[in-house]
Amino acid sequence: MTVPSPIELVCPAGSLPALKTAIDHGADCVYLGFKDATNARNFTGLNFDPAQMREGIAYAHARKRKVLLALNTYPQTGNWASWTQAVDRAADFGLDAIILADPGLMAYAAKTHPQLRLHLSVQGSATSYEAINWYHERFGVQRAVLPRVLSMAQVESVIANTPVEIEIFGFGGLCVMVEGRCALSAYATGESPNCNGACSPGKHVRWEDTPRGMETRLNGILIDRFADGERAGYPTLCKGRFEVNDETYYALEEPTSLNTLELLPELARIGIRAIKIEGRQRSPAYVAQVTKVWRAALDKLKAGGAEGFSVLPGWMAELNKVSEGQSHTLGAYYRPWK
């Protein structure tokens, strides 16, 4: 029997301090983006200018860790050159891989920088091995990040039928919709993850203290209303409370985080090659907390194998502290979630 490859821990770096924190706490890889719409976390105050990126790469490489660049939004005709320039810069900076969603951009990267390693972004919405193998055959994609929709058995089937390494989301903010297939934000605000790198963007958000309670609006659309004592969450539009047939509830999804820590032995068994932590928009403190726990868990699994693995109560407590809504879910890995 072949020994399964160790699982890489891929951590978010929304800033240089976050990058260093992730590396210091045991990340195998960090992923980051440029300060523009070429990545899916195009938020004010976030991401890297060229100097910061060079410094971050040097910091990581000096400690034998990898740096991945997310270029995972879809360029349009008029702004195409910004994306190809970003690919060129990535090759020039010596990034370890670029994470792409757009096939046209992959073709450009594969042709112009054949040595540059390509990952398929979750925004590419590839949920089957047939789709993933297309990217592999056409552009030499070496790793694919799966949308958060498949069950464990389905992920296992994907892995069994593709030479492409599979990375999954292990922890963090949970998209209830298939990534890359969601135009809810575009519908409500005109800005989408696909084309603008933003979902429910802050400039469209309004918080209003009213006699009915704290109301959160997105481009004027009421996303939720909070009673006194309720913690008012950010109005991500799929995580609001709405009325359906006279019932008011979280009709799409609760404000909750994905947490697959307890599935770690099973994920290792089926051959997952990397686990991604969501949250480039989160603070270095979040990155430290989450990276530390996942590093400890992966090390424990490596040392003791599946039989020796158990989730320490302290780990879950630490992770719940930084979870959205202070709660967590197994998402699509847990069938009743669907």
Comparing CB distances to another protein, the nearer of 58 and 160 is: 160
Site membership for another protein, residue 208 (CB under 8 A): no
Question: Alpha-carbon distance 28 to 9, whole Å?
Answer: 5
Which listed residue (63, 85, 92, 107) binds another protein by CB under 8 A?
107
The minimum distance between CB 307 and another protein, in angstroms, equals 30
Angle between helix axes 16-24 and 50-62 (nearest 10 degrees) is 10
Regarding 307 and contact with another protein (CB under 8 A), the answer is: no
CB of 56 or CB of 201, closer to another protein: 201
Nearer to another protein, 16 or 150 (CB): 150
Burial code (b: 16+ CB inside 10 Å, e: under 16) for 143-172 equals bbbbbbbbebeebbebbeebebbbbbbbbb
Among 224, 263, 281, 286, indicate the residue that binds another protein (CB under 8 A).
224
Q: Which of 184, 267, 274, 288 binds another protein (CB under 8 A)?
A: 184
186 counts as binding another protein under rule CB under 8 A: yes
252: left (phi over 0), alpha (psi -120 to 50) or beta: alpha
- The yes or no reply on residue 255 touching another protein (CB under 8 A) is no
Stretch that binds another protein, among 20-28, 30-38, 87-95, 217-225 (CB under 8 A): 217-225
The burial class, CB within 10 Å (0-12 / 13-18 / 19+), for 63 is exposed
The values of phi and psi at residue 110, to 5°, are -65, -35
Query: Per CB under 8 A, does 205 bind another protein?
Result: no
- Work out how close the CB of 225 gets to another protein at its nearest, in angstroms, rounded to a whole number: 5
For residues 334 and 207, give the distance between their C-alpha atoms in angstroms, rounded to a whole number.
Answer: 34
Q: Restricting to residues 73-102, which ones interact with another protein according to CB under 8 A?
A: 74-78, 80, 101-102
Does 232 participate in binding another protein (rule CB under 8 A)? no
Q: Smallest gap, in angstroms, from Cβ of residue 203 to another protein?
A: 13
Q: Which of 26, 35, 43, 178 binds another protein (CB under 8 A)?
A: 178
Helices in 44-79 by DSSP H: which ranges? 50-62
Of the residues 35, 54, 206, 241, which one makes contact with another protein according to CB under 8 A: 241
Q: How far apart are CA 164 and CA 141, in angstroms?
A: 7
Long-range CB pairs of 103-111 (<8 Å, 24+ gap) are: 103/135, 103/138, 103/139, 104/75, 105/71, 105/75, 106/135, 106/138, 106/139, 106/141, 107/138, 107/139, 108/84, 109/139, 110/138, 110/139, 110/140
For the record, the structure tokens of 257 come out as: 């985080």
**Quick one: which of 252, 296, 316, 330 contacts another protein (CB under 8 A)?**
252
| Interface positions with another protein (CB under 8 A) | 74-78, 80, 101-105, 107-108, 124-131, 133-135, 137-138, 148-151, 154, 157, 176-178, 180-184, 186-190, 192, 194-195, 219, 221-225, 238, 241-245, 247-248, 251-253, 332, 335-338
